[in-house]
Amino acid sequence: MTSETNQITNKTIIQELAAHGAAAIYACDHPPSSNTTTTAQSTSLPSPSPSHHLTKIIPYPTSPPSPAIEHETLALIDEILASFGRLDIWICSPIPLPSSPPPSIFSTTTPILHSLFETHALGPFFALKHAPAAMGKLSPQKGGYPNAVRKTQKYGSIITVIGGEGEKGGGVGYEMVRGAVLGVVKGGVGVLKGTGVRGNAVCVGFVGEGGEERDDVPLGRAAKPREIARVVGFLASGFSSYVTGASLVVDGGVSAMGPNIVPI
């Protein structure tokens, strides 16, 4: 996904969570430039629709590639618990790098590899490390904010959205990072045992704001952002209560066709 489609998809995910009845959503975004103000508009965050007006969307500016940095992950968790007393869902959907990773291993430098891992892999790792303990905190009282329900048992969901499924040309470095992210999801099953928390990944293919036609996709078009958001919403909801350690591929069939459609 490009930076633009990634941003649109993330906004659509926020709207989907609001539709599922989320009480509050912390939306991490990069800090605004010096000539802008920190508002929902300047941080490109959606406002809840009238039908979802009870959901509170909270802009939370971060520094790239945060919250991959561990101390910022902990700071965000502390902020959530101090404000609301509980944490239920954690979604890692990294912003793509400004430029595509080089397809050649010989042009992939150490700084590029570090940037790839910081942007894509460290966030899911630190979420797995720290979020389950916060998700285990119970909240028997509804609290003083709208749309809340009592939390009388431990549960939670950690969801990682990663692009590139079916896309070639990202290079060895990006494929390494994708493998690392999926390794966090698979390895996390044992870590999460007994916590009531589930961890899953959504592997995304080509995404276009209007579902543009594509000859290299079996379904004939790119995914619309809401089609990605609905899968994330499924994993965040109780409908996926027996799903953990899974990687749900949402690519219109590209990866299943392999080299028949996408040249290697």
* Residue 58 falls inside a structural domain: no
* Residue 49 falls inside a structural domain: no
Q: Tokens in use for 238?
A: 């109780």
* Residue 123 falls inside a structural domain: yes
10-residue stretch averages of pLDDT, the chain, 264 residues long: 76 92 82 34 52 79 66 92 91 68 81 86 94 91 69 94 66 87 96 97 90 91 94 96 96 79 48
* Residue 57 falls inside a structural domain: no
* Residue 77 falls inside a structural domain: yes
* Residue 262 falls inside a structural domain: no
Q: Tokens in use for 202?
A: 């959504």
- The per-residue pLDDT for 200 is 98
- The per-residue pLDDT for 51 is 61
**Residue numbers of the domain that contains 88:** 3-22+67-99+107-255
State the CATH number of the domain containing residue 217: 3.40.50.720
Output the pTM of the full model. Answer: 0.86
* Residue 47 falls inside a structural domain: no
76 within 8 A of 28, measured Cβ to Cβ? yes
* Residue 13 falls inside a structural domain: yes
**Residues near 179 by Cβ (< 8 Å), separated by ≥ 6?**
none
Q: How many domains does the chain have?
A: 1
End-to-end CA distance of the chain: 19
